Chains A and B, each alone.
Chain A
Amino acid sequence: MSIKLTVPIEEKKIRELRIGDSVLLTGVIYTARDAAHKYMKENFIARPCPPAEEPVYQVLRRGLAGGVIYHCGPVVRKLPAKGTGAERYEFVAAGPTTSIREEPYEADIIRHFGVRAVIGKGGMGPRTLAACQECGAVYLHAIGGAATLIAETVTEVRNVYKLEFGVPEALWEIRVEDFPCVVTMDSHGQSLHARIEEASRRKLAELLTR
C-alpha cells in the first residue's frame, strides 16, 4: 500500500512516515545536483543573495517551501518550439543520482527553504538525518536506473534554471505524478541505510574470520 504525498507537503504528513513506507509523490519538484547545491549554499545561505541571483532565489523560496528536491541529472530532449514560446523540453531518462555527495549542503538547505523531502539514491548522512528530525523532512529513495519509468511520471517540464551548469547539473522545475519511492530516512532519526550498514558490517567481520 503506497502513501500518496502532494506538494506542498505538511509537516504532519511527514511525521507520519516511517522507514520502509512506499510513497507516490505528486506535484512540482526541483532537481538539484552538485553544482546546484554548491550554488544554493554560496548564494542564498552563506551570504545575502546577490542581485543577479534574486529571480532564481524567489522561485526556489516559493517552490521549496513544503517542497521537494530531487537528486537527478536527466537526459532531456528539446521539443519543437510552439510559436514564439520559450524553449520546451521533455525528460527522456530521469533516475536518481547518488545523494551522499550533497551531504555537506543538504541540512542547511532543508532548514533554509523548508524542504519536506529529498529524493535520491543511496541515502544521506547524520547531518541530513538530524535536519530531517529537527525540521520535519524525509529522505525518499528512488529506484536507481529505473530512468525511463521515472521519466514517465514527469508530466511537464515547466522551467529550467542555471542551464549554464550543463543539462545534468541545471535546476529543472518539473511536475510529477505518482513518482514511486521508498522512505529510507524518516523524521524520527531512523535510517534504513545505517541499519543495513551495521548488519552487513557484523556479517563482514564474521566472514573475515572464517
Chain B
Amino acid sequence: MAPDITEPLVELIRSTSTDLSPDVEQALRLARDREEPGSAARQALESILQNVELSRKTGRPICQDTGTPIFYVWHPPGWSQRELRRQIENAVRSATQRAYLRPNAVAALSGKNSGDNTGIDFPTMHFEEWNRDYLHVGLMLKGGGSENCGATYSIPSAEFEADRDLSGVRKAVLDAAFKAQGFGCAPGVLGVGIGGDRATGMIKAKEQLFRPIHDENPDPALAAMEKQLCREINELGIGPMGFGGRTTVLVVKLAELHRLPASFFVSIAYMCWADRRKFMNIRNGRAEIELL
C-alpha cells in the first residue's frame, strides 16, 4: 500500500501560497531600503512587505493569481508515479476548495474554467527517481503576469549584434528585461536556460527559479555574468512595479544545457517578486518544509 501523502501536499501548497520564503523576504527588505524615501517605488515595496506579513498571519494567498502549480518529485525506487500523480491532483483540488489556490485551469479554446485546478497537463508534474530513502517534493506557483514576460531568443542575432557566446546571451537577457518593464510584478527573478531546444531550454530556465536567492553558480563565468546582469538590468531603472527605481530585478540565475549545432536558444523565464517556491521532505511518515 503506497503511503497517502495528500495532506502533507496540501500543507505544502498552503505554505507556498501564503508564506513567503525567508530568502525572498530578506531580498525585498534590502531592495526597499535602497529606494528613495517617499518615492512610489519605496511605497510599493512597503505595501508588498506589509502584504507578506498579513498573508502569513491570516493564511491567505500572497497573490490572487496562484498560478500554475509546478511540482517536482524526487522519490526512492519503488514509489508509484501514477499514485503520486493522483494524490497531487487531489491535493490541488482540496487546496482550491480551501481557497489556498484560485481555480486557474481554463480550457484553452472554450475558456471554460475547470473549477478545481485540474485539466489537460494541469497541474505540471515532473518525477525523478533518486537513491535517497526519502521523498523530496518541490512546488512552484508561477503566475500568468510573470509567465507572459518570458521569452525565447535565437542567437546569432543581427538585430542585437549578438554572437553565440556569453556576451550574446547577455544581450538577449537585457532585451527581455527591458521588454518586460514592470509587467511581471518587478522586482522579479530571471531564470535563463542557455541551449537546449525550445521546450527543454524553457524548462531549465524555470528550474533556475527554485534556486536560493543567494546561491553561487558553480561555474565561475556564469556566476560573474549573473551578477553583471543583475547590476545592469537594475541600471535600466524600471523599478518596482515599473514605477521607476533602483531595483528592477532581485537576482538572475543562468544554466547551460547541451544543444544542437544548428540551434542556440536563450530561454528566459520571468518570475515575480514573490518567487513562490518551497520544498518538502517526507521521511518515515513525517513531512517537513525546508527553509530556503
| Nearest CB in chain A to that of B45: its residue | A143
A197 to chain B, nearest CB (A): 6
Do B40 and A75 have beta carbons less than 8 Å apart?
no
| Nearest CB in chain A to that of B175: its residue | A204
Do A73 and B102 have beta carbons less than 8 Å apart?
yes
* 9 A-B pairs (CB sep. < 8 Å): A100-B183, A143-B241, A144-B145, A147-B55, A148-B54, A167-B103, A169-B113, A180-B47, A204-B236
Chain A residues at the B interface, C-beta cutoff of 8 Å: 20, 22, 35, 72-77, 92-95, 97-98, 100, 121-123, 141, 143-149, 151-152, 165-169, 180, 182, 184, 192-193, 195-197, 199-201, 203-204, 207-208
Give A106 to B178 CA distance when docked, in angstroms.
25
Q: Chain A binding site: helix, strand, loop or mixed by DSSP? A: mixed
Please indicate the chain A residues that have their CB under 8 angstroms from the CB of B60 in the complex.
Answer: 75, 92-93, 147-148, 151
| Nearest CB in chain A to that of B105: its residue | A166
> What string of 1s and 0s marks CB contacts (under 8 Å) between B165-179 and chain A?
000000100110010
Give A97 to B65 CA distance when docked, in angstroms.
8
Total residues of chain B contacting the partner, CB 8 A: 53
Do A196 and B244 have beta carbons less than 8 Å apart?
yes
Count of A-B contacts with CB under 8 A? Answer: 159
B187 to chain A, nearest CB (A): 11
Do B66 and A75 have beta carbons less than 8 Å apart?
yes
Do B274 and A145 have beta carbons less than 8 Å apart?
yes
Please indicate the chain B residues that have their CB under 8 angstroms from the CB of A180 in the complex.
Answer: 47
Q: Is B8 an interface residue (CB 8 A)?
A: no
Give A72 to B65 CA distance when docked, in angstroms.
9
Give A168 to B48 CA distance when docked, in angstroms.
22
B201 to chain A, nearest CB (A): 22
Please indicate the chain B residues that have their CB under 8 angstroms from the CB of A197 in the complex.
Answer: 181
